[in-house]
Amino acid sequence: MKLKTVTVEQLASDTRKVVDDARKRPVVVQSAGKAPLILRALVDDDAADELLIQNPRFRAGIRAARRRHAAGKSIPLAEVRKRLKI
């Protein structure tokens, strides 16, 4: 899929059209000398994922789980299923 590309100036002057286009396919927004941005529609899962990723408690929990796993203190999935009877 070829991405549509617009400049910051085009985005500013025709925001509604660019946003409508971004609902259909990702739009790359370029600004001279700066890293490009991608404007795209979010689905419900994207919004939830973004909220979780930004939550410091969630991120701390992931780091703690990774430390437990690295220390050999994790429980194999088969054992979890057995304990939960699933």
Domain boundaries, given as residue ranges, for the chain: 4-39, 44-84
Q: For the residues of 40-59, what is the DSSP string, one character each?
A: -PPPHHHHHHHHHHH-HHHH
What CATH code would you report for 4-39?
A: 3.40.1620.10
The average pLDDT across 56-80 equals 93
Supply the pTM of this predicted model: 0.53
With beta carbons less than 8 A apart as the criterion, state whether 5 and 30 touch.
Answer: yes
Residue 63 has pLDDT above 90, yes or no: yes
Q: Rounded to 10 degrees, what is the CA torsion of 85, 64, 44, 40?
A: -140
Q: Give the C-alpha separation, 52 to 43, whole Å.
A: 15
Q: What is the pLDDT of residues 1-36, one digit of tens each?
A: 678 999 999 999 999 999 999 999 999 999 988 888
